Structure 1
Amino acid sequence: MDLPSIYQAILGWPCYAKFMVVPNYAYLKLKLPGPRGVIAVSGDLQQAHSYEEESLNIAMATSQALELQSIWATMIETAPKSSRRKQSAGAFKPTNDTNVVRIDLEDDIFAWKPSDMLGILRQVAEHSLDILPGAKPVKQCLYRFDDKRRKAIGEEITRLLATGFIKEVFHSEWIANPVQVQKKNGASRMCIDYTNLNKACPKVPYPLP
Protein backbone atom coordinates (compact mmCIF):
# COMPACT_ATOMS: atom_id res chain seq x y z
CA MET A 1 0.00 0.00 0.00
CA ASP A 2 1.35 3.38 -0.99
CA LEU A 3 0.22 4.98 2.27
CA PRO A 4 2.18 6.57 5.13
CA SER A 5 2.18 4.56 8.33
CA ILE A 6 3.76 4.65 11.75
CA TYR A 7 4.80 1.01 11.47
CA GLN A 8 8.40 0.29 10.49
CA ALA A 9 7.57 -3.17 9.14
CA ILE A 10 4.50 -5.32 8.50
CA LEU A 11 5.08 -9.07 8.68
CA GLY A 12 2.91 -11.38 6.59
CA TRP A 13 2.47 -15.12 6.22
CA PRO A 14 5.43 -15.53 3.82
CA CYS A 15 7.69 -14.07 6.51
CA TYR A 16 6.15 -16.34 9.15
CA ALA A 17 6.76 -19.39 6.95
CA LYS A 18 10.35 -18.44 6.15
CA PHE A 19 11.37 -17.88 9.79
CA MET A 20 9.00 -20.58 11.16
CA VAL A 21 7.19 -18.05 13.34
CA VAL A 22 4.34 -19.18 15.57
CA PRO A 23 2.01 -16.23 16.41
CA ASN A 24 -0.34 -16.10 19.39
CA TYR A 25 -2.82 -13.27 18.87
CA ALA A 26 -4.50 -13.70 22.25
CA TYR A 27 -1.28 -12.96 24.15
CA LEU A 28 0.30 -10.78 21.43
CA LYS A 29 3.39 -12.96 21.23
CA LEU A 30 5.60 -14.36 18.47
CA LYS A 31 7.87 -17.35 18.91
CA LEU A 32 10.50 -18.49 16.43
CA PRO A 33 13.59 -20.68 16.58
CA GLY A 34 16.92 -18.92 17.11
CA PRO A 35 20.60 -19.88 17.19
CA ARG A 36 20.49 -20.24 20.99
CA GLY A 37 16.97 -21.47 21.51
CA VAL A 38 13.44 -20.13 21.14
CA ILE A 39 13.05 -16.38 20.61
CA ALA A 40 9.88 -14.81 22.08
CA VAL A 41 8.67 -11.39 20.97
CA SER A 42 6.01 -9.76 23.17
CA GLY A 43 3.61 -6.95 22.28
CA ASP A 44 1.59 -4.42 24.24
CA LEU A 45 -2.17 -4.25 23.68
CA GLN A 46 -2.52 -0.59 24.68
CA GLN A 47 0.43 0.46 22.53
CA ALA A 48 -0.88 -1.56 19.59
CA HIS A 49 -4.29 0.11 19.91
CA SER A 50 -2.71 3.58 19.97
CA TYR A 51 -0.64 2.73 16.86
CA GLU A 52 -3.74 1.45 15.08
CA GLU A 53 -5.68 4.61 15.94
CA GLU A 54 -2.83 6.86 14.80
CA SER A 55 -2.48 4.92 11.54
CA LEU A 56 -6.21 5.34 10.94
CA ASN A 57 -5.94 9.10 11.48
CA ILE A 58 -3.02 9.32 9.05
CA ALA A 59 -4.91 7.30 6.45
CA MET A 60 -8.01 9.49 6.80
CA ALA A 61 -5.96 12.69 6.55
CA THR A 62 -4.14 11.41 3.46
CA SER A 63 -7.42 10.37 1.85
CA GLN A 64 -8.96 13.78 2.51
CA ALA A 65 -5.88 15.55 1.13
CA LEU A 66 -5.98 13.46 -2.06
CA GLU A 67 -9.70 14.14 -2.43
CA LEU A 68 -9.13 17.89 -2.07
CA GLN A 69 -6.37 17.76 -4.70
CA SER A 70 -8.70 15.92 -7.06
CA ILE A 71 -11.47 18.49 -6.53
CA TRP A 72 -9.02 21.35 -7.06
CA ALA A 73 -7.71 19.80 -10.29
CA THR A 74 -11.27 19.32 -11.55
CA MET A 75 -12.12 22.94 -10.76
CA ILE A 76 -9.08 24.17 -12.68
CA GLU A 77 -9.90 22.00 -15.70
CA THR A 78 -13.55 23.04 -15.83
CA ALA A 79 -12.93 26.73 -15.10
CA PRO A 80 -13.43 29.14 -18.01
CA LYS A 81 -10.24 30.32 -19.68
CA SER A 82 -11.02 33.95 -18.90
CA SER A 83 -11.12 33.16 -15.18
CA ARG A 84 -7.58 31.77 -15.33
CA ARG A 85 -6.09 35.13 -16.30
CA LYS A 86 -4.22 36.81 -13.49
CA GLN A 87 -6.05 39.87 -12.20
CA SER A 88 -5.08 42.48 -9.69
CA ALA A 89 -6.79 42.84 -6.34
CA GLY A 90 -10.20 44.45 -6.61
CA ALA A 91 -10.56 43.56 -10.32
CA PHE A 92 -13.04 40.73 -9.84
CA LYS A 93 -15.76 41.68 -12.32
CA PRO A 94 -18.30 39.39 -13.97
CA THR A 95 -17.55 38.44 -17.57
CA ASN A 96 -19.72 37.12 -20.39
CA ASP A 97 -18.96 33.50 -19.47
CA THR A 98 -19.61 33.98 -15.73
CA ASN A 99 -21.96 31.35 -14.36
CA VAL A 100 -24.48 32.25 -11.68
CA VAL A 101 -24.68 29.65 -8.94
CA ARG A 102 -27.72 29.64 -6.67
CA ILE A 103 -27.14 28.37 -3.13
CA ASP A 104 -29.87 27.14 -0.84
CA LEU A 105 -29.27 28.59 2.61
CA GLU A 106 -30.93 25.55 4.16
CA ASP A 107 -28.16 23.27 2.88
CA ASP A 108 -25.70 22.03 5.47
CA ILE A 109 -22.66 23.71 3.90
CA PHE A 110 -22.32 26.84 6.04
CA ALA A 111 -20.93 27.31 9.52
CA TRP A 112 -23.54 29.44 11.24
CA LYS A 113 -21.98 29.08 14.69
CA PRO A 114 -18.58 28.04 16.08
CA SER A 115 -19.81 24.54 16.95
CA ASP A 116 -20.43 23.90 13.21
CA MET A 117 -16.70 24.24 12.48
CA LEU A 118 -15.37 20.85 13.48
CA GLY A 119 -11.81 21.64 12.40
CA ILE A 120 -9.35 19.49 10.48
CA LEU A 121 -6.79 16.91 11.46
CA ARG A 122 -3.34 18.14 12.45
CA GLN A 123 -1.83 15.85 9.82
CA VAL A 124 -3.57 17.94 7.12
CA ALA A 125 -2.76 21.43 8.37
CA GLU A 126 -1.22 22.83 11.51
CA HIS A 127 -0.36 26.41 12.43
CA SER A 128 2.67 27.39 14.48
CA LEU A 129 4.15 30.72 15.57
CA ASP A 130 7.51 31.63 14.08
CA ILE A 131 8.90 33.45 17.11
CA LEU A 132 12.20 35.26 16.61
CA PRO A 133 15.25 33.60 18.22
CA GLY A 134 16.18 35.24 21.49
CA ALA A 135 12.72 36.72 22.08
CA LYS A 136 11.80 36.67 25.76
CA PRO A 137 8.28 35.56 26.71
CA VAL A 138 6.09 38.34 28.12
CA LYS A 139 3.46 37.82 30.80
CA GLN A 140 1.11 40.80 30.79
CA CYS A 141 -0.27 42.11 34.05
CA LEU A 142 -3.87 41.27 34.76
CA TYR A 143 -6.34 43.79 33.28
CA ARG A 144 -9.22 44.96 35.43
CA PHE A 145 -12.70 45.25 33.92
CA ASP A 146 -16.04 46.45 35.16
CA ASP A 147 -18.85 43.98 35.85
CA LYS A 148 -20.44 44.37 32.42
CA ARG A 149 -17.26 43.70 30.45
CA ARG A 150 -16.13 40.94 32.80
CA LYS A 151 -19.48 39.17 32.33
CA ALA A 152 -19.27 39.50 28.53
CA ILE A 153 -15.70 38.15 28.48
CA GLY A 154 -16.72 35.25 30.73
CA GLU A 155 -19.62 34.31 28.46
CA GLU A 156 -17.36 34.40 25.38
CA ILE A 157 -14.70 32.25 27.05
CA THR A 158 -17.34 29.73 28.15
CA ARG A 159 -18.68 29.55 24.59
CA LEU A 160 -15.21 29.01 23.10
CA LEU A 161 -14.42 26.32 25.68
CA ALA A 162 -17.68 24.52 24.92
CA THR A 163 -16.98 24.46 21.18
CA GLY A 164 -13.39 23.30 21.66
CA PHE A 165 -11.78 26.42 20.15
CA ILE A 166 -9.65 27.00 23.23
CA LYS A 167 -8.47 24.97 26.20
CA GLU A 168 -7.06 25.73 29.61
CA VAL A 169 -3.26 25.79 29.78
CA PHE A 170 -1.19 25.76 32.94
CA HIS A 171 2.26 27.34 33.34
CA SER A 172 2.13 29.23 30.06
CA GLU A 173 5.22 31.21 29.03
CA TRP A 174 3.20 33.87 27.19
CA ILE A 175 0.21 35.53 28.85
CA ALA A 176 -2.03 38.01 27.00
CA ASN A 177 -5.18 39.71 28.26
CA PRO A 178 -8.59 39.77 26.59
CA VAL A 179 -9.89 43.19 25.57
CA GLN A 180 -13.31 44.46 24.56
CA VAL A 181 -13.39 46.24 21.17
CA GLN A 182 -16.44 48.22 20.18
CA LYS A 183 -17.86 47.67 16.69
CA LYS A 184 -19.37 50.32 14.43
CA ASN A 185 -22.88 49.16 15.26
CA GLY A 186 -22.27 49.67 18.97
CA ALA A 187 -21.80 46.00 19.84
CA SER A 188 -18.60 44.78 21.45
CA ARG A 189 -16.24 42.01 20.40
CA MET A 190 -13.69 40.19 22.51
CA CYS A 191 -10.11 40.20 21.22
CA ILE A 192 -6.73 39.25 22.66
CA ASP A 193 -3.96 41.78 23.22
CA TYR A 194 -1.19 40.11 21.17
CA THR A 195 0.93 43.28 21.02
CA ASN A 196 3.94 41.69 22.69
CA LEU A 197 3.63 38.47 20.71
CA ASN A 198 3.43 40.35 17.41
CA LYS A 199 6.66 42.17 18.25
CA ALA A 200 8.39 38.82 18.86
CA CYS A 201 7.31 37.42 15.45
CA PRO A 202 8.54 38.40 11.95
CA LYS A 203 6.57 41.01 10.07
CA VAL A 204 3.85 39.37 7.99
CA PRO A 205 0.95 40.81 5.95
CA TYR A 206 -1.55 39.17 8.33
CA PRO A 207 -0.71 39.99 11.96
CA LEU A 208 -2.59 38.42 14.80
CA PRO A 209 -5.79 40.34 15.69
Structure 2
Amino acid sequence: MISTISGGPTIAGMSNYSMKQYVRAAKFPRVLGIEVNRHHETPKVHWEPITFCEEEEEGILYPHDDPMIIRAEIADYDVGRVLIDTGSSVSVIFAEAFREKGINDSQVNRQLTPPLSFSGDLVQPVGSVKLPITFGTAPRKTTVYDHFLIVDCPTAYNVIVGRTALTRIKAHLSPHMLLMKFPTPNGTGAVRGNQLSARTCYATALKSTSFKLPDETMSVQGVLNGTGPVDDPRDESPTPHTQPVEELETITLSEEQPDRQVRIGTRLAPTLRTQFINFLRNHSEVFTWSYEDMPGIAPEVISHKLSVSPSYKPVRQKRRSYDTERYEAMRKEVDKLQTISFIREATYPVWLANSMMVRKAIGGWRMCQDYTDLNKACPNDSFP
Protein backbone atom coordinates (compact mmCIF):
# COMPACT_ATOMS: atom_id res chain seq x y z
CA MET A 1 0.00 0.00 0.00
CA ILE A 2 1.32 3.44 -0.92
CA SER A 3 1.89 5.51 2.20
CA THR A 4 4.12 8.38 1.11
CA ILE A 5 5.47 9.63 -2.20
CA SER A 6 8.52 11.87 -2.32
CA GLY A 7 10.54 13.36 -5.13
CA GLY A 8 9.44 14.82 -8.42
CA PRO A 9 9.39 18.40 -9.70
CA THR A 10 8.55 20.44 -6.59
CA ILE A 11 9.18 24.08 -5.78
CA ALA A 12 12.12 22.95 -3.62
CA GLY A 13 14.11 22.32 -6.81
CA MET A 14 16.27 19.39 -7.81
CA SER A 15 19.78 20.41 -6.73
CA ASN A 16 21.24 19.98 -3.26
CA TYR A 17 21.78 23.75 -3.00
CA SER A 18 18.14 24.61 -3.78
CA MET A 19 16.98 21.95 -1.34
CA LYS A 20 19.13 23.41 1.44
CA GLN A 21 17.84 26.90 0.70
CA TYR A 22 14.31 25.56 0.81
CA VAL A 23 14.89 24.20 4.33
CA ARG A 24 16.73 27.33 5.52
CA ALA A 25 13.88 29.54 4.34
CA ALA A 26 11.56 27.86 6.84
CA LYS A 27 14.13 27.86 9.65
CA PHE A 28 15.50 31.40 9.27
CA PRO A 29 12.99 33.35 7.16
CA ARG A 30 13.94 36.82 8.38
CA VAL A 31 17.69 36.20 8.35
CA LEU A 32 17.43 35.27 4.65
CA GLY A 33 15.26 38.30 3.94
CA ILE A 34 12.08 36.28 3.34
CA GLU A 35 8.84 37.66 4.72
CA VAL A 36 6.54 35.18 6.40
CA ASN A 37 3.38 36.69 4.96
CA ARG A 38 3.70 37.60 1.29
CA HIS A 39 0.03 37.90 0.37
CA HIS A 40 0.54 41.53 -0.66
CA GLU A 41 2.47 40.44 -3.76
CA THR A 42 -0.66 38.94 -5.39
CA PRO A 43 -4.23 40.27 -5.49
CA LYS A 44 -5.99 39.04 -2.40
CA VAL A 45 -8.99 36.82 -3.06
CA HIS A 46 -11.69 37.32 -0.47
CA TRP A 47 -13.30 34.08 0.60
CA GLU A 48 -15.62 33.21 3.42
CA PRO A 49 -14.39 31.24 6.46
CA ILE A 50 -14.34 27.50 5.92
CA THR A 51 -15.86 25.50 8.76
CA PHE A 52 -16.89 21.92 9.49
CA CYS A 53 -19.93 21.14 11.61
CA GLU A 54 -21.31 18.06 13.31
CA GLU A 55 -24.22 17.74 10.87
CA GLU A 56 -21.73 16.98 8.08
CA GLU A 57 -20.86 13.66 9.73
CA GLU A 58 -24.11 12.26 8.33
CA GLY A 59 -23.61 9.47 5.82
CA ILE A 60 -20.22 8.30 7.15
CA LEU A 61 -19.76 4.97 8.90
CA TYR A 62 -17.95 5.39 12.22
CA PRO A 63 -15.46 4.45 13.49
CA HIS A 64 -13.23 4.48 10.41
CA ASP A 65 -9.70 5.19 9.24
CA ASP A 66 -10.50 5.23 5.52
CA PRO A 67 -8.48 7.26 3.03
CA MET A 68 -10.16 10.01 1.04
CA ILE A 69 -11.11 8.66 -2.38
CA ILE A 70 -13.00 11.12 -4.59
CA ARG A 71 -14.02 11.69 -8.18
CA ALA A 72 -12.49 14.60 -10.08
CA GLU A 73 -12.68 15.94 -13.61
CA ILE A 74 -9.27 15.61 -15.25
CA ALA A 75 -8.79 16.76 -18.84
CA ASP A 76 -12.53 16.49 -19.64
CA TYR A 77 -12.87 13.04 -18.05
CA ASP A 78 -14.65 12.34 -14.76
CA VAL A 79 -12.19 10.01 -13.09
CA GLY A 80 -12.92 7.71 -10.18
CA ARG A 81 -10.56 6.27 -7.59
CA VAL A 82 -8.67 9.54 -7.06
CA LEU A 83 -6.67 9.39 -3.83
CA ILE A 84 -6.17 12.63 -1.89
CA ASP A 85 -2.72 12.23 -0.34
CA THR A 86 -1.20 15.08 1.65
CA GLY A 87 1.87 12.90 2.11
CA SER A 88 2.70 13.04 -1.61
CA SER A 89 4.98 15.81 -2.85
CA VAL A 90 3.68 15.42 -6.42
CA SER A 91 0.53 14.39 -8.26
CA VAL A 92 0.62 11.03 -10.01
CA ILE A 93 -1.47 9.53 -12.79
CA PHE A 94 -0.97 5.84 -13.40
CA ALA A 95 -0.16 4.62 -16.89
CA GLU A 96 -3.34 2.60 -17.49
CA ALA A 97 -5.58 5.54 -16.61
CA PHE A 98 -3.43 7.89 -18.70
CA ARG A 99 -3.66 5.67 -21.78
CA GLU A 100 -7.46 5.63 -21.53
CA LYS A 101 -7.52 9.40 -21.94
CA GLY A 102 -6.06 9.22 -25.45
CA ILE A 103 -3.83 12.25 -24.90
CA ASN A 104 -1.44 13.01 -27.73
CA ASP A 105 1.97 11.57 -26.97
CA SER A 106 3.59 14.86 -27.98
CA GLN A 107 2.20 16.46 -24.80
CA VAL A 108 4.19 14.09 -22.61
CA ASN A 109 7.52 15.38 -21.35
CA ARG A 110 9.77 12.33 -21.41
CA GLN A 111 12.85 14.01 -20.04
CA LEU A 112 14.47 11.92 -17.36
CA THR A 113 13.17 12.86 -13.93
CA PRO A 114 14.45 11.73 -10.55
CA PRO A 115 12.86 8.48 -9.36
CA LEU A 116 9.91 8.66 -7.01
CA SER A 117 10.09 7.02 -3.62
CA PHE A 118 7.05 4.85 -2.93
CA SER A 119 7.60 3.98 0.74
CA GLY A 120 11.26 3.33 0.10
CA ASP A 121 10.89 1.67 -3.31
CA LEU A 122 12.24 3.74 -6.20
CA VAL A 123 10.02 4.01 -9.29
CA GLN A 124 11.14 5.72 -12.50
CA PRO A 125 8.31 7.80 -14.00
CA VAL A 126 7.48 7.34 -17.68
CA GLY A 127 7.24 11.11 -18.07
CA SER A 128 5.17 14.07 -16.99
CA VAL A 129 2.18 15.93 -18.40
CA LYS A 130 0.38 19.11 -17.42
CA LEU A 131 -3.38 18.56 -17.10
CA PRO A 132 -6.33 20.54 -15.75
CA ILE A 133 -8.06 19.08 -12.71
CA THR A 134 -11.44 20.31 -11.47
CA PHE A 135 -12.87 19.80 -8.00
CA GLY A 136 -16.52 20.33 -7.06
CA THR A 137 -19.51 21.13 -9.22
CA ALA A 138 -20.81 24.32 -10.79
CA PRO A 139 -21.08 26.98 -9.64
CA ARG A 140 -18.84 26.10 -6.68
CA LYS A 141 -15.97 24.43 -8.40
CA THR A 142 -12.35 25.25 -8.98
CA THR A 143 -9.86 24.23 -11.67
CA VAL A 144 -6.07 24.24 -11.54
CA TYR A 145 -3.37 22.98 -13.85
CA ASP A 146 -0.95 20.56 -12.26
CA HIS A 147 2.01 18.50 -13.43
CA PHE A 148 1.20 14.79 -13.21
CA LEU A 149 3.97 12.24 -13.23
CA ILE A 150 3.04 9.18 -15.30
CA VAL A 151 3.93 6.06 -13.35
CA ASP A 152 3.60 2.52 -14.67
CA CYS A 153 3.15 0.23 -11.70
CA PRO A 154 0.34 -1.88 -10.20
CA THR A 155 -2.02 0.11 -7.98
CA ALA A 156 -5.61 0.25 -6.83
CA TYR A 157 -5.93 3.91 -7.81
CA ASN A 158 -6.15 5.86 -11.04
CA VAL A 159 -4.71 9.14 -9.77
CA ILE A 160 -3.00 10.41 -6.63
CA VAL A 161 -3.47 14.12 -5.96
CA GLY A 162 -0.58 15.48 -3.93
CA ARG A 163 0.21 18.68 -2.09
CA THR A 164 0.96 20.65 -5.27
CA ALA A 165 -2.68 20.72 -6.36
CA LEU A 166 -4.15 20.82 -2.86
CA THR A 167 -2.22 23.93 -1.85
CA ARG A 168 -3.16 25.72 -5.08
CA ILE A 169 -6.88 25.31 -4.42
CA LYS A 170 -6.44 26.15 -0.69
CA ALA A 171 -7.94 22.80 0.27
CA HIS A 172 -9.12 22.18 3.84
CA LEU A 173 -9.50 18.51 4.69
CA SER A 174 -11.43 16.73 7.42
CA PRO A 175 -10.26 13.09 7.41
CA HIS A 176 -12.80 12.39 10.14
CA MET A 177 -15.69 13.44 7.85
CA LEU A 178 -14.01 12.36 4.59
CA LEU A 179 -14.74 15.89 3.41
CA MET A 180 -12.63 18.41 1.53
CA LYS A 181 -13.60 22.08 1.22
CA PHE A 182 -12.05 24.91 -0.76
CA PRO A 183 -12.88 28.53 -1.56
CA THR A 184 -14.39 29.54 -4.89
CA PRO A 185 -15.64 32.90 -6.21
CA ASN A 186 -19.21 31.63 -5.65
CA GLY A 187 -18.72 30.36 -2.11
CA THR A 188 -17.22 27.33 -0.44
CA GLY A 189 -16.97 24.24 -2.61
CA ALA A 190 -17.00 20.75 -1.12
CA VAL A 191 -16.18 17.22 -2.22
CA ARG A 192 -17.13 14.17 -0.18
CA GLY A 193 -14.98 11.06 -0.16
CA ASN A 194 -16.58 7.78 -1.20
CA GLN A 195 -16.24 5.39 1.73
CA LEU A 196 -17.20 2.30 -0.27
CA SER A 197 -14.63 3.07 -2.95
CA ALA A 198 -12.00 3.75 -0.26
CA ARG A 199 -12.52 0.36 1.35
CA THR A 200 -12.62 -1.41 -1.99
CA CYS A 201 -9.31 0.19 -2.97
CA TYR A 202 -7.79 -0.72 0.38
CA ALA A 203 -8.87 -4.35 0.08
CA THR A 204 -7.57 -4.51 -3.50
CA ALA A 205 -4.23 -2.98 -2.55
CA LEU A 206 -3.70 -5.70 0.04
CA LYS A 207 -4.28 -8.53 -2.42
CA SER A 208 -1.02 -10.00 -3.58
CA THR A 209 -2.50 -11.77 -6.60
CA SER A 210 -3.69 -8.86 -8.70
CA PHE A 211 -4.00 -5.11 -8.50
CA LYS A 212 -5.90 -4.64 -11.74
CA LEU A 213 -9.49 -3.43 -11.51
CA PRO A 214 -11.30 -4.20 -14.77
CA ASP A 215 -13.61 -1.53 -16.21
CA GLU A 216 -12.79 0.92 -13.40
CA THR A 217 -9.76 2.65 -14.85
CA MET A 218 -11.70 5.51 -16.39
CA SER A 219 -15.09 5.11 -14.75
CA VAL A 220 -16.98 8.14 -16.02
CA GLN A 221 -19.69 9.49 -13.76
CA GLY A 222 -21.12 12.71 -12.46
CA VAL A 223 -18.83 14.88 -10.35
CA LEU A 224 -19.58 14.95 -6.65
CA ASN A 225 -21.81 17.68 -5.34
CA GLY A 226 -21.53 19.49 -2.07
CA THR A 227 -23.97 17.24 -0.23
CA GLY A 228 -22.34 13.91 -0.94
CA PRO A 229 -21.23 11.49 -3.63
CA VAL A 230 -23.34 10.14 -6.41
CA ASP A 231 -24.26 6.53 -5.71
CA ASP A 232 -22.23 4.48 -8.16
CA PRO A 233 -22.64 0.70 -8.08
CA ARG A 234 -19.46 0.39 -10.11
CA ASP A 235 -17.48 1.45 -7.02
CA GLU A 236 -17.88 -2.14 -5.87
CA SER A 237 -15.40 -4.70 -7.12
CA PRO A 238 -16.31 -5.11 -10.80
CA THR A 239 -16.76 -8.47 -12.46
CA PRO A 240 -14.39 -9.23 -15.36
CA HIS A 241 -16.03 -9.54 -18.78
CA THR A 242 -16.21 -13.14 -20.02
CA GLN A 243 -15.06 -14.03 -23.52
CA PRO A 244 -16.45 -16.65 -25.93
CA VAL A 245 -14.78 -20.06 -25.61
CA GLU A 246 -14.94 -20.63 -29.38
CA GLU A 247 -15.17 -18.77 -32.66
CA LEU A 248 -18.61 -17.36 -33.54
CA GLU A 249 -20.45 -17.05 -36.83
CA THR A 250 -23.19 -14.57 -37.72
CA ILE A 251 -26.61 -15.90 -38.71
CA THR A 252 -29.34 -13.81 -40.38
CA LEU A 253 -32.76 -14.68 -38.98
CA SER A 254 -34.87 -12.98 -41.65
CA GLU A 255 -34.14 -12.41 -45.32
CA GLU A 256 -36.60 -9.49 -45.36
CA GLN A 257 -34.74 -7.85 -42.46
CA PRO A 258 -31.05 -8.64 -42.95
CA ASP A 259 -29.99 -6.46 -40.02
CA ARG A 260 -31.55 -8.92 -37.56
CA GLN A 261 -28.64 -11.21 -36.84
CA VAL A 262 -27.39 -13.40 -34.03
CA ARG A 263 -24.10 -15.18 -33.44
CA ILE A 264 -23.69 -18.88 -32.69
CA GLY A 265 -20.74 -21.15 -32.05
CA THR A 266 -18.84 -22.84 -34.89
CA ARG A 267 -18.31 -26.17 -33.13
CA LEU A 268 -21.88 -27.42 -33.53
CA ALA A 269 -22.45 -30.62 -35.43
CA PRO A 270 -24.01 -30.00 -38.89
CA THR A 271 -27.37 -31.54 -37.95
CA LEU A 272 -27.56 -29.73 -34.64
CA ARG A 273 -26.48 -26.47 -36.32
CA THR A 274 -29.35 -26.70 -38.82
CA GLN A 275 -31.88 -27.48 -36.11
CA PHE A 276 -30.59 -24.65 -33.95
CA ILE A 277 -30.79 -22.08 -36.77
CA ASN A 278 -34.33 -23.16 -37.66
CA PHE A 279 -35.34 -22.90 -34.02
CA LEU A 280 -33.97 -19.34 -33.76
CA ARG A 281 -35.72 -18.27 -36.95
CA ASN A 282 -39.04 -19.72 -35.84
CA HIS A 283 -38.84 -17.82 -32.56
CA SER A 284 -37.22 -14.61 -33.76
CA GLU A 285 -40.09 -12.59 -32.26
CA VAL A 286 -38.69 -13.15 -28.76
CA PHE A 287 -35.65 -11.02 -29.59
CA THR A 288 -35.72 -7.28 -28.95
CA TRP A 289 -34.27 -5.39 -31.89
CA SER A 290 -35.26 -1.87 -30.83
CA TYR A 291 -37.02 -0.01 -28.02
CA GLU A 292 -40.27 -0.24 -29.97
CA ASP A 293 -40.13 -4.03 -29.50
CA MET A 294 -40.40 -3.59 -25.73
CA PRO A 295 -43.94 -2.33 -25.07
CA GLY A 296 -43.54 -2.95 -21.37
CA ILE A 297 -45.41 -5.04 -18.83
CA ALA A 298 -48.91 -4.22 -17.65
CA PRO A 299 -48.96 -2.97 -14.04
CA GLU A 300 -51.61 -5.61 -13.34
CA VAL A 301 -48.92 -8.26 -13.92
CA ILE A 302 -46.08 -6.72 -11.94
CA SER A 303 -44.97 -3.28 -10.83
CA HIS A 304 -42.09 -1.81 -8.88
CA LYS A 305 -41.97 1.11 -6.51
CA LEU A 306 -39.50 2.69 -4.11
CA SER A 307 -40.57 2.33 -0.49
CA VAL A 308 -39.48 5.79 0.60
CA SER A 309 -39.79 6.46 4.31
CA PRO A 310 -42.29 9.28 4.93
CA SER A 311 -39.89 10.82 7.45
CA TYR A 312 -37.49 11.76 4.63
CA LYS A 313 -38.02 14.77 2.43
CA PRO A 314 -36.80 14.90 -1.16
CA VAL A 315 -33.37 16.50 -1.52
CA ARG A 316 -33.73 19.72 -3.47
CA GLN A 317 -30.71 19.84 -5.75
CA LYS A 318 -29.43 22.84 -7.60
CA ARG A 319 -29.81 22.56 -11.34
CA ARG A 320 -26.52 21.56 -12.93
CA SER A 321 -25.17 22.95 -16.16
CA TYR A 322 -23.74 20.72 -18.87
CA ASP A 323 -21.98 21.23 -22.16
CA THR A 324 -23.71 21.14 -25.54
CA GLU A 325 -22.83 17.50 -26.19
CA ARG A 326 -24.44 16.31 -22.96
CA TYR A 327 -27.56 18.44 -23.48
CA GLU A 328 -28.01 17.00 -26.98
CA ALA A 329 -27.60 13.45 -25.65
CA MET A 330 -30.19 14.16 -22.96
CA ARG A 331 -32.68 15.54 -25.48
CA LYS A 332 -32.36 12.50 -27.75
CA GLU A 333 -32.72 10.07 -24.84
CA VAL A 334 -35.80 11.83 -23.43
CA ASP A 335 -37.45 12.08 -26.86
CA LYS A 336 -36.80 8.40 -27.51
CA LEU A 337 -38.21 7.27 -24.16
CA GLN A 338 -41.26 9.51 -24.49
CA THR A 339 -41.99 8.24 -27.99
CA ILE A 340 -42.20 4.63 -26.81
CA SER A 341 -44.06 5.62 -23.61
CA PHE A 342 -41.32 4.45 -21.28
CA ILE A 343 -41.53 7.74 -19.40
CA ARG A 344 -44.03 10.56 -19.05
CA GLU A 345 -43.66 14.16 -18.05
CA ALA A 346 -44.38 15.11 -14.45
CA THR A 347 -44.06 18.47 -12.71
CA TYR A 348 -42.48 18.73 -9.26
CA PRO A 349 -42.11 22.41 -8.38
CA VAL A 350 -40.37 21.90 -5.03
CA TRP A 351 -37.51 19.55 -5.80
CA LEU A 352 -35.15 18.44 -8.54
CA ALA A 353 -33.06 15.34 -9.32
CA ASN A 354 -30.29 16.08 -11.78
CA SER A 355 -29.59 13.94 -14.80
CA MET A 356 -26.11 12.40 -14.85
CA MET A 357 -24.45 11.61 -18.18
CA VAL A 358 -22.18 8.56 -18.08
CA ARG A 359 -19.81 7.96 -20.97
CA LYS A 360 -20.20 4.49 -22.50
CA ALA A 361 -17.12 2.43 -23.27
CA ILE A 362 -18.35 1.92 -26.85
CA GLY A 363 -19.09 5.62 -27.32
CA GLY A 364 -22.13 7.76 -26.66
CA TRP A 365 -23.80 8.54 -23.35
CA ARG A 366 -25.94 6.79 -20.77
CA MET A 367 -28.37 8.97 -18.82
CA CYS A 368 -28.87 8.29 -15.11
CA GLN A 369 -30.48 10.22 -12.28
CA ASP A 370 -28.73 11.52 -9.17
CA TYR A 371 -31.09 10.72 -6.31
CA THR A 372 -29.04 12.01 -3.41
CA ASP A 373 -29.19 9.82 -0.28
CA LEU A 374 -31.86 7.60 -1.83
CA ASN A 375 -30.53 4.51 -0.07
CA LYS A 376 -30.96 6.17 3.32
CA ALA A 377 -34.56 7.08 2.54
CA CYS A 378 -35.42 3.52 1.41
CA PRO A 379 -34.97 1.14 4.39
CA ASN A 380 -34.40 -2.52 3.66
CA ASP A 381 -37.66 -4.39 3.20
CA SER A 382 -37.46 -7.98 4.43
CA PHE A 383 -40.82 -8.81 2.86
CA PRO A 384 -41.03 -6.90 -0.47
Calculate the TM-score normalised by the size of structure 2. Answer: 0.25
Higher relative contact order (CA 8 A, sep 6+): 2
Calculate the TM-score normalised by the size of structure 1. Answer: 0.44
- Greater per-residue helix proportion: 1
